[in-house]
Amino acid sequence: MVRQGSGQTPGPGKIPPDSSFSPADGAAGPVRARYTTGEITILADEAIRAANSSLNEIAAVQPEQRTISNTLIRFEKTMGDFTDRTAPLTLMAYVYPDRAIADEGSLAEEKAGTFSIEVFTRRDLYDAIRGQVPGTPEELRLYTNTIRLFERNGLALPDDKVSLVRDWKSNLARMETRFSSNLNNDNSSLEYRADELEGVPREALATLAKTKNGTYLVTTKYPDYYAVMKNANRSETRKRMLYAFVNRQAGENTKLLEDAIMVRQQIAHELGYKTWADYKTDGRMAKSQENVVNFLAELKEPLKTRIITELAGLLEIKRTIEPGANDIRPWDILYLQELQRRQQYALDDEIVRQYFPLDIVTVGMFNQYSGLFGVDFIEEKVVKVWAEGVRLYRVVNQSNGRTQACIYLDLFPREGKYGHLMTSGLIGGRMENGSYSIPVTAIVGNFRAPNNGIPSLLSHDDVVGFFHEFGHTLHNSLTTAPYASLSGYNVEWDFIETPSQAFENWAWEPDVLDSLSGHYTDHSKKIPPELRNRLIRTRDMDTGVVYGRQLMIATEDMEFHTTKGPVNVTGISERLYQEIMGIPPIEGGHEPATIGHFMGGYDAGYYSYLWSNVYALNIYERFRKDGLSNQTTGRDYKRWILEPGNMQDGSVLLRGFLGNEPGIGPFYKHLGITRGINASNPVDHEK
């Protein structure tokens, strides 16, 4: 998942392009990481004042004196500066250990979001920029996208309508921030006796807190959640865990989401769109919500057929431990899949973990892409970070030795921290004063933390997720786009997941798995070939359930945002769960309240995971054909996919890299779907 800042470019604290960024001159790091109470609020307010001052000067330029340079280009720089100053502040809402300071980060995020809406609903700025004549293709691209942003915020409407849109969007931004903050602050936990956790690996139990009575406290963070759902032998234990997980912040977040959907309907209507989904897909690769709905509909029956087959297999396994069982419940699925891995593939997740210590995986992943893209990854040992365990790496260009980007890794759970995996841009790439800035990106995750001398050990699912987020990170790190608002992963939303999903495929290749592995007690011991091959064979084991779940969430997202009037998000979610997964959901759950994507930029956009995977698998097919480490292909990928940002449409970039239009074939093959559609590309549904 990508978390985007409120603007896009480097300001205070950036590293000069030729800096070696040694501990002697860079101990503070590329962004500020430590704050005292009140500082984030002060810094956010200062950033807003500085941006407003510059924007007011742009608006004040007399019409006869306006040029591209003193309107559009200065506007771009101002907003880039603003984002570089505020994005590190808003990240603290998701990661800072001190709750009071994290709350300031949430408030800063809300202020930044509101400010951005105010900027793009200012008619004086719109009038100052509109009508200027770009002098280069790059300026034309920037001009077109900037004007489009203003007009998507209502600037083509009369002033009274613009005011309405501004108020609604500001209110929406506040609701979205509150929704995310609620999930970040959620500390839900369950108390279990030792016998209730029978089957949970001792390595996982060792990481749990205990009460004075000797019972275990199990949080709803991913490491704890999956340890219970995959391993706890007692059905009731898993049921309680799932119930708690899908009810995190259910009371307030359900209302926030439903209220937000109503506000989105009002905004879309005022802007001349039938639905919010029409508004959000306009300008994306999908082009319209009808194309998305058709794409999802094409997948529904084939995936349902596969899900039925997979659940039937799980039911047979369930009958071996519960004779006479005649159904599968939601809290059974992960547990039975883990049993299936053990019984049919002789795989034990805890044994697999032993071969994937986080440090070894990190180095192996870096090495995989170092030669491919001509960069080195160097850890900075002496640097200030916001929490223990956070690491900082420089991305160094091999050809000239210059620091090209910086990457923070914050990968262990802690109280109040964002609960999933995400990538967050902190400093954007852009040309400034004749040199290129140094993008800074953070990967935030929740892998099992080191404990009692045992390092962080990753499941293979963790490895795949790490590769996914690293794809986002390289997209942001290796950009060469001249403007911050168009650099890195600031691309069409249904293209944004393409590099990340392409990179997931590397984590299934035998040679790559060998390079990533090393037993935690002896790093020279790679994962045994026979174990590795059994692991690879599980790739298609639960494709129906995995992609069926993505289809379910994408479908409910589109239904939320194409319905007119009040929306019962829980009711829609429960109906689609039954319809697509083929079994009833857990009673009393409120899962939409726990899905941050719906209020984190993926509203009417969750389909992008499936949509982008079509492109990702086409990309991977070329690498498979040319060689996963083929440096010529790597250079082409860097040139066509990672570097350009949004300087060209995603469709143009894909054709440039592939040499032809992407086809649906690799995607259907991956899903095990044999029937096709009359299109070479998802967008062709509109024909």
Contact yes or no for 285/683 (Cβ under 8 A): yes
Largest CA distance in the chain: 84
Task: Give the span between the Cα atoms of 415 and 125, in whole angstroms.
Answer: 43
Instruction: Extract the runs of DSSP E, i.e. beta strands, from 258-390.
Output: 375-380
Task: Give the span between the Cα atoms of 220 and 227, in whole angstroms.
Answer: 10
Which residues are within 8 A (CB) of 321 and not within 5 positions of it... i.e. 6 or more apart? 339
Q: Which residue type does 118 have?
A: E
Pairing of strands 209-210, 422-427: unpaired
Integer angstrom CA distances of residue 109 from 88, 103, 177, 603: 10, 10, 7, 18
Please tell me which residue in 109, 380, 469, 591 is annotated as part of the active site: 469
673: left (phi over 0), alpha (psi -120 to 50) or beta: beta
Q: What angle do CA 59, 65, 68 make, to 5 degrees?
A: 75
Q: What would the 3-class secondary structure string for 214-266 be? A: CCEEEECCHHHHHHHHHHCCCHHHHHHHHHHHCCCCHHHHHHHHHHHHHHHHH
Contact yes or no for 520/455 (Cβ under 8 A): yes
DSSP letter (8 states) at residue 456: P
**CB-count burial class (<10 Å; 0-12, 13-18, 19+) for 212:** exposed
Q: Kind and range of the H or E element at 629?
A: none
DSSP letter (8 states) at residue 450: P
Task: Give the span between the Cα atoms of 684 and 647, in whole angstroms.
Answer: 23
Contact yes or no for 273/279 (Cβ under 8 A): yes
Task: Give the span between the Cα atoms of 570 and 575, in whole angstroms.
Answer: 9
Residue with structure tokens 């194309």? 291
Task: Give the span between the Cα atoms of 117 and 157, in whole angstroms.
Answer: 15
Task: Give the span between the Cα atoms of 161 and 156, in whole angstroms.
Answer: 9
CB count within 10 Å of CB 313 equals 16
677: left (phi over 0), alpha (psi -120 to 50) or beta: beta
Task: Give the span between the Cα atoms of 71 and 132, in whole angstroms.
Answer: 8
For residue 242, the Cα-to-chain-centroid distance in whole angstroms is: 23
- Told to judge if 110 belongs to the known catalytic residues of this protein, a careful annotator would answer no
Task: Give the span between the Cα atoms of 648 and 669, in whole angstroms.
Answer: 29
Rg of the chain's alpha carbons, rounded to an integer?
A: 25
Written as six digits, the tokens of 140 are 């034309």
CB count within 10 Å of CB 529 equals 11
Where in the sequence numbering do the catalytic residues fall? 469
